[in-house]
């Protein structure tokens, strides 16, 4: 069954699906230090690491090098186990995940901040190529990934993904990019592979499609330019609005891009248009969640509406939106509020958790954040509602902002011109940097910690 047939009909009824989608052994899967890694070499590395994995049900994949992550990911799946993907590599989230999975191990390729019992070290990879070039098959119903939400709205939640569902969700992303590029492409990503967006765009696409991926995860503009230069064309840059804004602030010249892909936070239209003009490439924004994987996309500089992937249907609910998608075993309700344009298009109107009512007045956190960040001199900022109530039993708004040349009083004076007094942030704190995680998100716990210091 083809990937397009899978996407139309849901999870494939076939009991087995390939570990790697490869037409021939010479197909390039990844680029490491400027050198291509062929499919047969990649599978040899997978088999090498597979031999190190002890019995169990899952392994925390903490590999930072993206190629190491790919190898570990496939080795864990080949062992019949699931990749545990923590919301952070920090000790506490990893410890909490391990506590929830008592028989798990940890596979890492770098230093960890504290010793972890049962940790497996990524070995120096060597190729013992199989002359027959046999690609292993994996049961479609096997749990391959247990991904955790970022915790931006509370405690991280576990989400299970089967091997079959990953094949189906990847088909939608593959078709989305092929529609723009029309040919195989080479990916450089600034987001970690442990995040579901990073997993979909920089792990599943090269594994289950025809593209290849760079092993690194550059952040600074000069590093992004240098690493892009090691890839052949057409090049696709996978990033977030935070990374793109930082890239636009620099004067560095980038090698030619065929496309940019963004997710994890709303992409401002002005930023999308400026990026397309500067880098002469379309910017695609994809929409999804850890619970659903990506199910829609749009070219933000030109389109307000999102286009659903084939087979996906949205059903607005009082508490959000119910999503039916081919990769899901059943419907999933998200907090996002949408307005349907027709059967295949929708407008995003915010999240039910973003809708505020204070003193009989209503506002959207998304709109408040946009106004804060629109102040000249504010480089980054966020508003959020506190849990505790004040003497009037009102849950007030707090805000953190980054603005080297502005004081708290100056920013508050600007906000007074923009906002109803009920929605002015109290407190308003200036910080040197917002506590974003590797995917650019702001876990609620870290915001509250930053507010207290």
Query: What are the pLDDT digits (tens) for 421-431?
Result: 888 998 999 99
pLDDT value of position 452: 82
Rounded to an integer, what distance in angstroms lies between the CA atom of residue 83 and that of residue 120? 14
pLDDT value of position 421: 83
Residue 339 has pLDDT above 80, yes or no: yes
Rounded to an integer, what distance in angstroms lies between the CA atom of residue 156 and that of residue 177? 30
Give the confidence band of 246 by pLDDT, cuts at 50, 70, 90. Answer: confident
As a three-state string, the secondary structure of 182-249 is CCCCEEEECCCCCCHHHHHHHHHHHHHCCCEEECCCCCCHHHHHHHHCCCCCCEEEEECHHHHHHHHC
Rounded to an integer, what distance in angstroms lies between the CA atom of residue 154 and that of residue 137? 37
Give the confidence band of 335 by pLDDT, cuts at 50, 70, 90. Answer: confident
Is-contact 230 214, C-beta < 8 A?
yes
Give the confidence band of 96 by pLDDT, cuts at 50, 70, 90. Answer: confident
What is the SS3 assignment for 261?
strand
pLDDT value of position 1: 38
Strand partners for 310: none
Strand partners for 115: none
Rounded to an integer, what distance in angstroms lies between the CA atom of residue 423 and that of residue 182? 47
pTM confidence score: 0.81
Query: What are the tokens at 80?
Result: 């019949």
pLDDT value of position 167: 96
Query: What are the tokens at 21?
Result: 């989608």
Query: What are the tokens at 71?
Result: 């190898």
Q: What percent of the chain has pLDDT over 90?
A: 62
Q: What is the pLDDT of residues 5-22, one digit of tens each?
A: 444 445 545 589 999 987
Q: Look-up: residue for tokens 């509020």? A: 337
Sequence-separated (6 or more) residues with CB below 8 Å from residue 330: none
Q: What percent of the chain has pLDDT over 70?
A: 91
Rounded to an integer, what distance in angstroms lies between the CA atom of residue 248 and that of residue 375? 18
Query: What are the tokens at 423?
Result: 């929605």
Give the chain's mean pLDDT. Answer: 88
The residue-averaged pLDDT of 337-361 equals: 80
Is-contact 152 443, C-beta < 8 A?
yes
94 alpha-carbon distance from chain centroid: 18
Rounded to an integer, what distance in angstroms lies between the CA atom of residue 24 and that of residue 40? 9
Cis ω for the linkage preceding 365 (within 30 of 0)? no
Query: What are the tokens at 120?
Result: 């497996």
The residue-averaged pLDDT of 429-436 equals: 91
Give the confidence band of 442 by pLDDT, cuts at 50, 70, 90. Answer: confident
Residue 13, CB-side half-sphere exposure with 13 Å CA sphere: 2
Q: What is the pLDDT of residues 59-84, one digit of tens each?
A: 999 999 999 999 999 999 999 999 99
More confident residue, 116 or 33: 33
Domains detected in the chain: 3-350 (3.40.50.12780), 359-452 (3.30.300.30)
pLDDT value of position 12: 44
Angle formed by the axes of helices 39-50 and 66-78, nearest 10°: 60
Separation in Å, CA 400 to CA 80, 375, 394, 428, 431: 44, 13, 20, 6, 7
Q: Look-up: residue for tokens 């602030």? A: 249
pLDDT value of position 238: 97
pLDDT value of position 22: 75
């Amino acid at each position: 069954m083809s990937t397009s047939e899978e996407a139309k009909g849901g999870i494939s009824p076939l009991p087995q699906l390939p570990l790697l989608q490869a037409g021939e052994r010479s197909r390039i899967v990844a680029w490491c230090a400027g050198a291509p890694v062929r499919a047969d070499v990649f599978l040899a590395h997978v088999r090498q690491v597979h031999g190190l994995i002890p019995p169990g049900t899952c392994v925390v994949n903490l590999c930072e090098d993206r190629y190491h992550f790919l190898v570990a990911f496939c080795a864990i799946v080949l062992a019949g186990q699931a990749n545990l993907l923590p919301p952070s590599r920090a000790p506490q989230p990893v410890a909490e995940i391990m506590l929830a999975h008592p028989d798990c191990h940890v596979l890492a390729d770098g230093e960890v901040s504290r010793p972890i019992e049962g940790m497996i070290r990524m070995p120096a990879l060597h190729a013992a190529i199989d002359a027959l070039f046999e690609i292993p098959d994996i049961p479609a119903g096997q749990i391959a990934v247990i991904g955790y939400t970022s915790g931006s709205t509370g405690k991280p939640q576990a989400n299970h993904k089967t091997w079959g569902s990953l094949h189906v969700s990847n088909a939608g992303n593959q078709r989305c990019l092929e529609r723009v590029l029309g040919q195989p492409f080479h990916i450089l990503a600034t987001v970690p592979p442990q995040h579901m967006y990073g997993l979909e765009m920089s792990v599943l696409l090269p594994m289950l499609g025809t593209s290849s991926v760079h092993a690194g995860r550059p952040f600074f503009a000069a590093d992004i330019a240098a690493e892009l230069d090691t890839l052949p064309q057409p090049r696709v840059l996978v990033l977030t609005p935070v990374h793109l804004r930082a890239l636009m602030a620099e004067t560095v010249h980038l090698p030619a891009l065929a496309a940019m892909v963004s997710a994890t936070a709303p992409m401002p239209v002005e930023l999308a248009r400026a990026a397309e003009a500067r880098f002469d490439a379309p910017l695609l924004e994809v929409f999804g969640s850890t619970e659903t994987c990506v199910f829609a996309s749009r070219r933000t500089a030109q389109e307000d509406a999102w286009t659903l992937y084939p087979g996906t249907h949205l059903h607005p609910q009082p508490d959000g939106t119910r999503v039916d998608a081919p990769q899901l075993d059943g419907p999933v309700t998200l907090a996002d509020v949408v307005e349907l344009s027709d059967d295949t298009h929708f407008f995003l109107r915010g999240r039910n958790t973003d809708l505020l009512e204070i003193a009989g007045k209503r506002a959207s956190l998304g709109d408040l954040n946009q106004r804060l960040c629109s102040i000249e001199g504010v480089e980054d900022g966020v508003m959020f509602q506190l849990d505790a109530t004040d003497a009037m039993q009102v849950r007030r708004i707090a805000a953190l902002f980054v603005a080297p040349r502005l004081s708290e009083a100056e920013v508050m004076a600007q906000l007074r011109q923009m906002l109803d007094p009920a929605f002015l942030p109290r407190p308003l704190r200036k910080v040197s940097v917002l506590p974003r995680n590797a995917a650019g998100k702001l876990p609620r716990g870290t915001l509250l910690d930053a507010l207290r210091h």
